[in-house]
Structure 1
Amino acid sequence: MIILASTASAGTTWPSSFLVVAAVLVSGLLLAGPALRRRYPVAWWLLFGLPVACCRVIRTWRPLMAGCGLAVSRRPALTVVSGLVGKGAPPPQPLVPRFGFIRPTAGGFWLLARLLPGQVPNDFVKAAPAMAEAWGMHAVRVAPQKPGTVRITASVTDPLAYPRIPKQRGPVHLLRVAVGALETGAAWVIDLRRIPHWLIVGATRSGKSTLINALVAGLAPQPVALVGVDCKGGMELSLYEPRLSALATNREQAVRLLAALVDLTLDRMTVCRAARVRNIWGLPEQERPVPVVVIVDEIAELFLIASRNEKDEAHAAGTALIRLAQLGAALGVFLLVAGQRVGSDLGPGVTALRAQLGGRVCHRVADPGTAEMALGDLNPDALKAAQAITPEQAGTAVLASGDGWERARSHLITEADAEAIAAEYAHLTPHLPELLDAK
């Protein structure tokens, strides 16, 4: 009898002990949750935020699809009505798009959804704000994945508020620089081997110079030559002069420097042809010429004309830039062209050059024509997103290429930081005798 009593007593105390422990753990998590979220946002999201978000997606998916007009009736409307009147049966549940596994990211999640017949990706794009509200997310982006499928990406917070560059792991890839964060929370990486030429536009204090600082800071430690064209007297690019192999500070010098760069590409073309390879990357590493990254600041200064002589200089500079853009990718010459204002009123050379610059970055701009020039030919949605950037969102930009578009923000690297990095790696500056006569 005593044994039975003790066993029964233990059986009654075990559930209560478990409840007490569970209550203590839940209370501790509730109290420590805000601190954990501030100090370890990724861990907080994966442990607590993501399970809640998954439950919301599963619970709200069907009514959300119906409310956004993305559900399709299983039977024609008249058949449904006749069935209700004649038999009193409940209406059949409508068909809704199916979605796959919810895959976590550092600051959100993404999933794939299959379109129903007659639907297009733009139907889901219009429903993105409703998805964000229903799931309690900061933003939801929808993009085509493949025919019949869209990718839905949700962000729990705004990763552009405090962009972070992840720590470099493994070897540094040549001509590849992490400059900030994407809206998805991933690193914003500019890879010149993949997209060799870029157009960067932005008004004063929009973040354009900060992005150039980040690019120079990332390229300075690499075995590449940096060449500057700054027709505003070198006020911007002279900060990096210890790391520059050449710098042109007015249009006359710029014309000579760009012409020398064209000659350099033609010489490399001869070398590649003799070696029977299609680009410099096919040459043996010990024979491969150093890559050259040309940074052009304030492109309008090259094209503005006030006299006949200036017209000839502007035409020569534009022709040289277009030739570099056409030939440079295969021959190791890459262009980063920046400006506050870029428009067709600067002349046909600007439009022809724009067509050769496959990568575009548009910060806040002062006139809609510049945003149209940067993004209008690639994606109308990207153009709308760029025009929505406010003055308070300094550093935020829309980047676009043939692969699509994304919102991003560059990591803050001050002019003093960039200047110090350029001085630190000045000993890596390649000597290019081909450019000496251009000074």
Structure 2
Amino acid sequence: MNLASSATSAGVAGPNWVLVVAAALVSGLLLAGPALRRRYPVTWWLLLGYPATALRVVRTWRPLMAGCGLAVSRRPALTVVSGLVGNGAPPPQPRLPRRGLIRPTSSGFVLLVRLLPGQVPEDFVKAAPAMAESWQVHAVRATSWRPGVVRVVASAADPLAAPRVPKQRGPGHLLRVTVGALETGATWVLDLRRVPHWLIVGATRSGKSTLINAIVAGLAPQPVALVGIDCKGGMELSLYEPRLSALATNREQAVRLLAALVDLTLNRMTVCREARVRNIWGLPDKERPIPIVVIVDEIAELFLVASRNEKDEAQAAGTALIRLAQLGAALGVFLVVAGQRVGSDLGPGVTALRAQLGGRVCHRVADPGTAEMALGDLNPDALKAAQAITPEQAGTAVLASGDGWERARSHLITESEAEAVAVEYAHLTPVLSELHVEAP
């Protein structure tokens, strides 16, 4: 009898000790939570934030779907007459979109949702703000994943408030630069091999120059040629002059430089044709010409005209840029075109050039037309997001391409830091004799 009592006591004591230890661990995590969140935000999120949020998603899924109109009644007719012929029986529960596993990320979570018949991804896009409120997270994005399935991405906090992006060490991958952070918490990588030409717009102090600094600082250690066109007298791009293979500081110089770039591109086309390859990447390493990244700052200065002679120069510059955009990707010439204001009022050449620039970055802009020019032809949701950027969100931008759109923020690289990088890697500046065009 005593043995049985001892065994029973031991059996009860075992689970009690487990509960005590578990309670102590949970209490310790809760007490250390603020410090843990401040110093190790990813660890805090995975240990405390994610489990609580996932439980909140599970608990609120049914009322949230019903409140957003995303639940579908199984038998609408029975809902009306259930009280008459069903002796007061409750109506059947509505069908809910089937939710997949809630998979954590470093700063939020991802889940897939299967749509019910008659639903479209836009239904979940409209419900995203309500999801963020119900789940008590910073933001929710819903996008089409595949036919019949949407991908819901939640961010627990705003990763753009203080993006932590490691500085690039060494040359890295050719024509691939880490420039900031995405709203999802992932790094913002500008890959010119994947998206060869970019349009960057933004008002004064919106973060446009900071992004260009990050691009130059990332490309400077790489075996590429950088070419600058800055028709405001070189006030912006002259900072990087030690690392530039050529720099045009007025429209007359820009026209000659762009014409030389077109000739260089046509020469490379001849080389590829004779080697029977479709682009320079098919050439042997020793025969492959060096990639060239052309940075155009303040594109409006190229297209604004006040006389007949300026009109001819602007047309020549626009035609050359369009040809470079059409031919350059396969022949190792890439464009990064920036401006405070880009609109159709600058002439048809701007609209034609815009169509060739597959990557777009839109910071806060001073006029709606610039945002429309940058994003309107790609995604209306991206346009709305760009127009919502406030002056306090310097550096924040919406980037878009044929693959979709994201909110992002560039890593802060000051002008002095970018200038120092240009000087540090000045010895890597290739000499391109074709681009040294004498004035007529």
TM range, normalised to the smaller chain?
A: over 0.9
Does the CA contact (< 8 Å) of 2:78 and 2:91 recur in 1? no
Flag structure 1 segments of 5+ consecutive residues without an equivalent: none
What is the distance in 1 between the residues matched to 2:358 and 2:438? 28
* Pair 50,254 (structure 1): closer, same or farther in 2 beyond 3 Å: same
Per-residue CA distance 1:119-150 (angstroms, 9 max, x = gap) = 11111011101111111111000111111111
Offset at residue 21 of structure 1 (A): 3.1
Q: Which runs of 5+ in 2 are unaligned?
A: none
For residue 415 of structure 1, what is the aligned residue in structure 2?
A: 415
The structure-2 alpha-carbon separation of the partners of 1:254 and 1:31, relative to structure 1 and needing over 3 Å to count, comes to: same
Contact 1:114–1:149 (CA<8 Å) still a contact in 2?
Answer: yes
TM-score normalized with structure 2 length: 0.96
The reply to whether residue 146 of structure 1 matches residue 146 of structure 2 is yes
Aligned residues between the structures:
438
CA shift in 2, pair 1:429/1:147, >3 Å: same
Q: Are 1:313 and 2:307 matched, yes or no?
A: no
Give the SS at the match of 1:70. coil
* SS of aligned partner of 1:397: strand
Aligned to 2:436: 436
**2:334 counterpart residue number:** 334
Give the Cα–Cα distance (whole angstroms) in 2 for the partners of residues 438 and 190 of structure 1: 34
1:68 is aligned with what amino acid? Answer: C
Does residue 85 of structure 2 align to residue 86 of structure 1?
A: yes
Match of 2:287, as an amino acid?
E
1:123 match: secondary structure: helix
Contact 1:343 1:370 in 2 (8 A): yes
* Cα distance in 2, alignment partners of residues 169 and 157 from structure 1: 28
Once the two structures are superposed, the pairs formed by residues 22-421 of structure 1 within 5 Å of their partners are: 22-76=22-76, 78-88=77-87, 89-166=89-166, 172-421=172-421
Q: Does structure 1 conserve the Cα–Cα contact (< 8 Å) formed by 2:304 and 2:346?
A: yes
Q: CA deviation at 1:52?
A: 1.4
Q: 1:153 to 1:9 in 2, by over 3 A?
A: closer
3-state SS, counterpart of residue 437 of structure 1: coil
Aligned equivalents of 2:69, 2:260: Cα separation in 1: 60
Q: Which amino acid aligns with 1:143?
A: T
- Alignment CA distance shift 1:70-1:380 (3 Å): same
Alpha-carbon offset, residue 408 of structure 1:
0.5
Measured at CA, do residues 168 and 102 of structure 1 come closer, stay the same or move farther in structure 2, by a change above 3 Å? farther
CA 1:438–1:213 in 2, change beyond 3 Å: closer, same or farther?
Answer: farther
What is the CA–CA distance in structure 2 between the aligned matches of 1:112 and 1:166, rounded to whole Å?
30
Contact 1:257/1:438 (8 A) holds in 2: no
CA–CA distance in 2 between the matches of 1:93 and 1:3? Answer: 53
User: In percent, how many aligned pairs have the same letter?
Assistant: 82
Cα separation, 2, equivalents of 1:12 and 1:118: 55
The answer to whether the 8 Å contact 1:166/1:187 transfers is no
**Partners of 2:148 and 2:175 in 1: CA distance:** 36
| 8 Å CA contact retained: 1:253, 1:438 | no
Deviates further, 52-61 or 427-436: 52-61
Give the conservation status (yes or no) of the 8 Å contact 2:168–2:218: no
Q: Is the contact between residue 171 and residue 222 of structure 2 (CA under 8 Å) also seen in structure 1? A: no
Deviations for 1:328-374, whole angstroms, at most 9, x for unmatched residues? 00100000000000011111111111111001000000011111111
Mapped to 2, the partners of 1:7 and 1:123 lie a distance apart of 59
Give the residue type in structure 1 aligned to 2:79: V
Tell me which amino acid in the other structure corresponds to 1:387: Q
Cα deviation, 1:287-334, whole Å, max 9, x if unaligned, reads: 000000000000001011111111111111111101100110010000
How far apart are 1:105 and its partner, in Å?
1.1
User: How far apart are the structure 1 equivalents of 2:260 and 2:104?
Assistant: 50
Task: For residue 65 of structure 1, report the CA deviation from its aligned partner.
Answer: 0.6
SS of the equivalent of 2:73 reads coil
CA contact (8 A) 2:257 2:435 kept: yes
